[in-house]
Amino acid sequence: MSSSRIISSDNHVIEPADLWTSRGESKFLDVAPRVERFEDGDWWVCDGRKVIDVSSGGAAVGARFDAPETQTMNARIEDVRPGGYIPEEHVKDMDSDGVDTSIIYPTTGLVLYGVPATELVDSFMRTYNDWVGEFCGAVPKRLKGIAVLNVDNVQTAVGELERCAKMGFAGVMIPTSPPAGRSYDRPEYEPLWAAAQAHEMPISLHVGCERMTEGAGVMDVRGANFIVNVDHFVRTSIGNIIYSGVFERYPKLYVGSVEHEISWALHFLNRLDFCYTQLTTELRGEYRFKGDALPSDFFRSNVFLGFQEDAAGIEMRHRIGIDTIMWGADYPHLESTFPRSQEILSEILVDCSEEEKAKITGGNAARVYNLN
């Protein structure tokens, strides 16, 4: 492995069971996310509906390597690894896994985008941001938080971005798929792009964060086929952002795909340019870039891609763009590379030069998140 600084661009916290019931707004107490015990294990429940099971995040990290038979779908909240919710323990696990800095995302907070009511989502996300700001503030040189934003009301999202920038967050995340009928190529998002650039806050599109505003309740756990094809959502959003000229107007803005792996990017880049240059009838009246610029140019200058174990993507790194790629451990989730991150990275990056290894394992993340 490279001797350079190792940054996990995708680590997670496991929110305390009483986070929203003890710290949230009192008027939402009856519907606030909480942990409840069922025959099939402990689940986070929001407004009377199951949102995510405890087994999926934090209760079986590392088991897939040494003891896969111990993985259970009936985990209890007390089974969660302490590093998920205690910052000092998180850092101890980073040390044992050879990680210098963690970019921190939520767990339960990811699926709150499936709560239909705007007012609830805004409130729940403010509560989370306050807590994770304290979590990262306990070891600020090692832990860098990503704030969660709801984009139902863009001005509200801008206000929360500005608040979290002042609190020292490294970036923000927005729904990977926005509300129905409000794709990211619409002018209403201009204030958000402008604020993110002004405050140097990269924007993440994390796996599993679709804004499901229609229907009766929160997002269901949707099985293996959903996971296999989940990059559909991030491709659609990044394509809308690129094709509408967002990066031409905001050249210092970064938008990233987090935990979708990276192999899909080569085909996506080819299609971006082919459609732009060849399918002119499909693009009649749409945005045209200045000069000879191509969509792939903006992808490689303004988009970042997080991966975990995508060896095929690394083989295609030069065609995808070496400066776009950053590694993440996904600690402490079930599929995390912890505690074998160094071993896995050594295998996946075996054909990379030392300069390439340094960029992928830390340099690109340090640049995007201003960690230098």
**Cα distances (angstroms) measured from residue 31 to each of 23, 73, 251:** 13, 25, 41
- pLDDT of 223 reads 73
- pLDDT of 281 reads 62
pTM: 0.94
Residues 1-57 have pLDDT tens digits of 656 899 999 999 999 999 999 999 999 999 999 999 998 889 999 988 898 888 776
Which residue, among 218, 270, 298, has the nearest Cα to 33 in the 3D structure?
218
**Cα distances (angstroms) measured from residue 10 to each of 13, 119, 304, 317, 319:** 10, 28, 12, 19, 23
Structural domains in the chain, sorted by start: 7-27+82-368 (3.20.20.140)
Q: Kindly tell me the sign of the dihedral angle through the C-alpha atoms of 337, 343, 344, 349.
A: positive
- pLDDT of 286 reads 77
The encoded tokens of residue 143 equal 């832990």
Least confident of 32-46, 72-86, 141-155: 72-86
